[in-house]
């Protein structure tokens, strides 16, 4: 996947709920940071009524009053809540990070046309997701021969964070 200098890289981690995607991404963020790579994360969710603002707080009150967007700035952090009529394309969200990060790790976006790493936990499901294109690797705590439908792509164990980072960075 090389080409880190100049062009922003993005890869999505896919898998069933509770497969370990978030834990793996958090470990990769730390590994990338130790290498001086600035990482952004975009999480996709299908939960329709998800709220990040707390009922009764100012941002919640502004949104409830009808604000289309609410931004909060605190000590060098910006939080933006914006109502949309449909899902915002991944490319638009990636543009938000423009110039600030070297690599974006996404969670979800199973159908997006970006490289994907599938995370499989036998406790959740013993095989790969169907109809996924762009899969570049599989990560699991079980060997590939114990899983069903694993394609001919590089395989990593959940603890192989350094090796997965090397692979994603083309090293």
Please give the backbone phi and psi of residue 32, each rounded to the nearest 5 degrees, phi first: -60, -45
* Overall pTM surpassing 0.95 (yes/no): no
Cβ–Cβ under 8 Å, residues 43 and 107 = yes
Q: Which residues contact 155 (CB under 8 A, 6 or more apart)?
A: 137, 138, 139, 140, 144
Task: Report the 10 Å Cβ neighbour count for 140.
Answer: 23
CA distance 131 to 20: 21
What value does the CA radius of gyration of the chain take, rounded to a whole number of Å? 18
Q: How far apart are CA 55 and CA 62, in angstroms?
A: 11
Q: pLDDT tens track of the chain, all 171 residues?
A: 444 444 568 999 999 989 999 999 999 999 999 999 999 999 887 666 656 677 888 888 888 888 888 888 888 888 887 878 888 888 888 888 878 899 999 998 998 999 999 999 988 887 788 878 999 999 999 998 888 888 899 999 999 999 999 999 998
Q: What is the DSSP letter of 26?
A: H
């Amino acid at each position: 996947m090389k080409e880190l200098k100049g062009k922003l890289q993005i890869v999505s981690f896919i898998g069933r709920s509770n497969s370990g995607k978030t834990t793996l991404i958090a470990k990769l963020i730390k590994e990338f940071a130790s290498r001086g790579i600035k990482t952004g994360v975009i999480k996709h969710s299908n939960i329709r009524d998800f709220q990040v603002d707390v009922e009764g707080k100012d941002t919640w009150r502004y949104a409830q009053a009808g604000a289309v967007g609410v931004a909060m700035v605190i000590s060098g952090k910006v939080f933006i809540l914006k109502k949309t009529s449909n899902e915002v394309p991944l490319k638009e969200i990636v543009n938000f990070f423009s110039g600030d990060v070297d690599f974006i790790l996404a969670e979800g976006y199973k159908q997006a046309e970006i490289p994907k790493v599938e995370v499989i936990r036998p406790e959740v499901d013993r095989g790969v997701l169907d109809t996924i294109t762009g899969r570049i690797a599989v990560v699991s705590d079980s060997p590939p021969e114990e899983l069903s439908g694993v394609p001919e792509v590089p395989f990593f164990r959940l603890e192989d964070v350094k090796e997965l980072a090397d692979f994603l960075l083309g090293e």
